[in-house]
Every structure is written in C-alpha cells, then in structure tokens.
Amino acid sequence: MSDSSNSAGERFTLQPDTTGTGDGLRLEPVETDTAAEATEKEPSYGWTMVRELVETVVLSLVIFLLIRQVVQNYRIENHSMEPNFYEGQFVLVNKLAYRLGQPDRGDVIVFHNPRNTSEDYIKRIIGLPGDTVEVNNQTVFINGEALIEDFTHYPIPPGEYSGPFVVGDNQLFVMGDNRPNSSDSRVFGPIDQDLAVGQAWLRIWPLNEFGIVQHVDLPLAGAPVSQ
C-alpha cells in the first residue's frame, strides 16, 4: 500500500475497498504522533541549563571587566605608609580619579614602580608639576617653604638631604608617610603621572576600619592653613 498527504499535511493510506461501491481502493487517514515529533525538536532540559550557565558566566565576566576599569583592590604589603596604612589592609583604588580630574597635594595614590612596572607602590603626593622639592634638616621644602606634616609620626632621619628635585610637566613627587622606611621619589625622583593607577578610595579590610580614605591637605608654613 502507498501513502499520500493533502495540503494540510494530513497523511492517508490506501486500503482495499470492501464496500463494493468503489474501484477496489479507498483512502483512510493515518494517525501521526505530531506532538511527539514537536517535543523531540525542543531543546532538552540539560542543554537549556548549560546555555543558561554559559550566559551567566559570560555576563559575570563582562561585569567584572567593566568594574576593573573603574576600581581595583590592593593589599598593603609593607610599612611605608604607617601610621595611616598598615601591612595587611585592603584598599579599593579609584582608577578614574585622574582621568576625570587632577591630582592634588596630599592625595594617596597607587602607581607602578618606575624601576619595575610590574610592582605597585602606595604613597602620598607631595609635589606637583612646577614644584621644586628639597629635603633638608628633617623637613620637606616645597618652593622654599616648609611643608607642615602633622599626618605622620615618623620624621625624616637627622642628616638626610635629598634634592632639589624639579617636578616636570605630567610628573608627581611622592613620599611614604613612614619617612625613614619608604622608597619613594627621594630615591627614584619624580614619577610620570601616566604611572598612576588611581587614587586610594575605600579601605575595605579589616572590617572595623572600613571607610572612605581621607586625603589630607598639605599646607606650607608660609601659606594659610585650611580649616
């Protein structure tokens, strides 16, 4: 016997005509399991789960990469910024701070070590472009005026002399708050601002010290102290 179908997609089969009124053959519809066929074409539950997992991972990766363009976390690895930052603390760095604004004296920044750019340092900005910085008689002088440093408990060692350093365009002079135990611009000179990763923004660990990083004003002895 042969099969045929109509325009609506319904299938028929030819059967012998036992009624005696036809030519010996008649058409009878054949039932088809269209529901089963449709089900077989639908994605399996396992494949759907895999697809959703891949989409979630990709979306999470995109969000992570976008966040990394804005902030980045760092662990303090040494004592050079004590008493304001201690080894083992974690801080978030605002990487857009100096793309959208200008650095200021007193800002705490993270930057690539100019002698080894795979290593990052955290220091405080002391000198800005155009400044002349000199260290003498346990005092930092900027353009001949003594810098008031009430934010550090570790003074410059007696007899140390550095400079004078002229801070060029697009450069910064940086120092650690722990003056006797910091490798900074007194050693490697002013840094290019392009080396700056960003401004220290949020202290996130330990939790009992969680909060916004405070950036101090650094007035000069001959300038009015901001209130």
Instruction: Kindly list the domain boundaries of the chain, sorted by start residue.
Output: 1-40, 74-212
User: Tokens representing 223?
Assistant: 């300038």
What is the residue type of 11? R
Confidence of residue 150 (pLDDT cuts 50, 70, 90): confident
Query: Quick check: 227 pLDDT over 50?
Result: no
* Residue 144 DSSP SS3: coil
Query: How many residues are present in the chain?
Result: 227
Confidence of residue 224 (pLDDT cuts 50, 70, 90): very low
Query: H or E segment at 160?
Result: none
72 vs 224: CA distance, rounded Å: 35
Catalytic residue flag (residue 60)? no
Among candidate residues 2, 4, 44, 80, the one labeled active-site is 80
Q: Give, in degrees to the nearest 5, the angle at Cα 137 between 80 and 227.
A: 70
155 vs 19: CA distance, rounded Å: 118
Among candidate residues 95, 123, 182, 185, the one labeled active-site is 123
11 vs 3: CA distance, rounded Å: 7
pLDDT digits (tens, 9 = 90+) for 74-92: 999 999 999 999 999 999 9
Least confident interval from 108-122, 165-179, 183-197, 207-221: 207-221
More confident residue, 138 or 31: 138
Catalytic residue flag (residue 2)? no
Average pLDDT over residues 134-163: 88
* pLDDT at res. 41: 58
Query: Quick check: 68 pLDDT over 70?
Result: no
184 vs 38: CA distance, rounded Å: 71
Q: Which CATH architecture has domain 74-212?
A: Ribbon (2.10)
pLDDT digits (tens, 9 = 90+) for 34-46: 555 555 556 677 7
Q: What values do phi and psi take at 133, rounded to 5?
A: -110, 135
For residue 66, how far is the Cα from the chain centroid?
7
